[in-house]
Structure formats: C-alpha cells, structure tokens
Structure 1
C-alpha cells in the first residue's frame, strides 16, 4: 500500500506538471474540494503537495483566497529572462572553464537526443512533447551543470520552471515558425569549440528571442 508521503509526492509532480504546461491557468484558484476530485487524492496529501509548490513559488497561498496559480506579467517575464541570462552566463562560463571530456560527451549526447525528439503537434502537451520538454531541460541544465555550484544550478532550475510557464502559454501559436533546433545546435557547436563568448551570446539571444515571441503573443498579453 502506498504511504501518504508517496501520494503527496505523486500529486505534487502532477500538479507541478499541469502548472508548467499551462493546463492550470495563471490566476486560477485551486479549490481543495475540486482538486481532490480532479486528482483523486485525499485532503492531507493534497495540502502537503500545495504547500510544497507554494514553497517553490509555483503556487500562491493567502489567508483570504487559499491556493492560487501565480499570475503572469510582462514585467516579470522580462525580469526572469534578464536574471536567467545573468546566472546562466556565469554557469556556462564556469562549466566551459572546467570542461572535461565526460562533460562534453554528455552535452553532445543530450543535444543529439533533443534534436532527434519531435515536439508535440503545435506545442500541445502530447506524450512526445513531454519527452521533448524533458530533453530540452536536460540540455540546458547540462550547459551550466559543470559550474561547480549546486546553488547556482538550483537557482537556474527555479528560473527554468517559471520561464517554462510563459513559454508554454505561447508555444502553440508562436513557436512553430522558429528554428529552435538550429539555435540549440549553434550553442552546442560554440561550446564544443571552446568559444565561451560566442556560446554565451547565442544562449542569451536564444532566451531573449523566446521572451520577445511571448510578449508579441496577443493571446498571452493583449494589447493595452
């Protein structure tokens, strides 16, 4: 029989995935009774999971409104993007300075797997899209993964989560016109050539372009 802790961990991952994929929309109230029915979970493990998500910043908890999915704003997206670029520049430079053959091989394999993985239709959360998302995260995490700082890597992980919420909201409409595979390959090539300045410039442009596309999406940020 599964323990309450196991149930809480399972529902934590499921709710987290639904928030990051945009299936639980920004600003949505997470009513306990409805969530219990939707996720087929008891109140105690559900509250435990929601409190964990609140500690991670993916759920807001207030006395008046209970639990809600955080809202979105253009200002937050710009700040997230700027901060992510700052941190990942340092992480990437440190990783490249300490590069080993093993790290480069792992990065090469991660890039190859990502390039060979199809995305879901129009950015929808199909099974293949979930695989692409996991491999996409692996590739970007490896870029900073050799920096020698678990704190920096942890902060980058948190920013990745918050950034993914925005990216998924716009993916269905905006991202099919973008050659993300070529962008990833260019970053990988620069890293393997030990050209840190170019690798950082390409990574920064990659994230900046993502933010620009999201901000241009009228369905996410209506004019005015």
Structure 2
C-alpha cells in the first residue's frame, strides 16, 4: 500500500500500485482506492468473500492486504469477525490532531534548531508553489484536487524537513493521510481562498523568525483548524 502520499494523491498512487506488486499489496491498494474514492463508506463491513470476488484476489492475500490498512487507520478489525471501514468522528479527529501536534511540534523544534538556508528556501518555495496554484484556480482548493493536496502536503512537510529523523517525517506523512477524509470536508467549507493562503503565510513567517515557542504555538493552532471548521469546536477536549 502507499505510505507517504496526500489525500487525492493517494487515489492516484493506489491505482498505480494496484497494477503491480504482490497480491496482498494489490489488495490493499484496491481497497484503499475504493475507500478514498467514496465507494466504500465509513462503517461499511468488508466481507472477504464479496471483496475477493470484486477484486479477483484470493482470500489469504486479501486478508493480508486488509491487515496493512488497519495499521494505516483506514479500516478496523472486528475481533475474529473481519474488517470494517474506519468510522469518522469528532473523537477520532481530536485524536489524530493531538498526536499530530505532539509529533510535528517536536519535529519543528528540531528543524528550527538545525535547519539552515536550504531548509528556509524549501519552506518559501513550497509556499510559493502552493500559493500560485490556488491563486490560478481557487476551485482546486475547495474540491481538494490531487495537485492541490500534493502541494499542501509538500508545504507542511517542508516545515519539518530539517528535523533529522526520517521516522518523525514518516509519522507526519501517515497522520496527514489519515486526516484526509476530514480535510476534504474542511476545504469544501473554507470559503475565501485568500484566508487560506494568509494562514499558511503567517505560519511560514512565524517559523522562519525562529522564535521556537511562537512557532510551536502557531503550528498547534494551525493544526486545530480542521477540527474547528469540520466540527465547530474550539475545545480539543470536546469529543461528543
């Protein structure tokens, strides 16, 4: 299955992966593609027999493929009874957001400490590419197009790129992808694209000023925005 791609980009990568690799990898890619494409809805039961017939893949590699997606947070195991598409809920998004804040603020502290000119240039160039793309076609932001989500993820990753830990970056990538279904809802409600770009410019400027505590606070507030827009919550402890 795919590991470090953003939202709609995952759809494209899953489609490519489905054409190659082992049977279990192909099974994971096909199920992932159907989940992200909305063909399999949150809470849907994933029957082995039905999926085996749908994808023309045997039961054993299919189970192996589904197990891969459990670790990605896209599906849940139901004891010995099989699998189900992971539900979406405020509590789940709170959990994703809290863990992202823990991971990304640590990676940001390290990046500010160790990052040099190349790191700063990477942030500015990724922000420029994101801004130019959104300004040319604001609809791509609201629709969460593959190109928009790729550029959006690249910007957020650039902030952490100098952390010196590929594991921290991998955790960032995984959590970013797990939030995709929520982020797609958020982008459709965002409204004026100028506010979106201003928020990202403010984040970049604060980080480039290298005031660690201000940067960490700004990043945490930025990450909470998805929760606030999707669920109208300003309280990270509100999980109703």
Which bracket does the TM-score occupy, shorter chain normalised?
0.7 to 0.9
Partner of 1:202: 218
Query: CA separation of 1:180/1:34 partners in 2, compared to 1, >3 Å: closer, same or farther?
Result: farther
By how many angstroms is 1:204 displaced? 1.4
Task: Report how far residue 203 of structure 1 moved.
Answer: 1.6
Q: Using a 3 Å threshold, how does the CA distance of structure 1 residues 154 and 121 change in structure 2: closer, same or farther?
A: closer
DSSP-derived class of the 1:76 partner? helix
Q: Specify the alignment match of 1:67 in structure 2.
A: 83
Q: Residues 202 and 22 (structure 1 numbering): CA distance in 2 closer, same or farther, change over 3 Å?
A: farther
Distance 1:198 1:216, change over 3 A: same
List alignment gaps of at least 5 residues for structure 1.
Answer: 218-223
* Aligned-partner Cα distance in 2 for 1:121–1:103: 27
Correspondent of 2:127 among 94, 104, 111: 111
Which TM-score applies when normalising by structure 2? 0.73
Shift of 1:92: 0.7
Preserved contact between residue 16 and residue 58 of structure 1 (Cα < 8 Å):
yes
The residue aligned with 2:8 is none
Q: How far has the Cα of 1:91 moved from its partner?
A: 0.8
How many Å separate the matches in 2 of 1:208 and 1:97? 24
Q: CA deviation at 1:14?
A: 4.9
Task: Give the C-alpha shift of residue 99 in structure 1.
Answer: 0.9
RMSD of aligned Cα (Å): 3.0
Hey, what does 2:209 align to over in structure 1?
Answer: 193
| Match for residue 145 of structure 1 among 154, 161, 166 | 161
Q: 1:123 aligns with which of 142, 156, 175?
A: 142
Separation (CA, whole Å) in 2 of partners of 1:50 and 1:215: 29
1:26: which partner in 2? Answer: 42
Distance 1:197 1:11, change over 3 A: same
Farther-moved stretch of structure 1 (29-38 vs 53-62): 29-38
C-alpha distance in 2 between matches for 1:7 and 1:133: 28
Extract unaligned runs of 5+ from structure 2.
Answer: 1-17, 234-239
Write out per-residue CA displacement over residues 57-114 of structure 1, whole angstroms, 9 at most, x where no aligned residue. Answer: 3211235542211112222222221221122111111101101222222222211111
How far has the Cα of 1:21 moved from its partner? 5.9
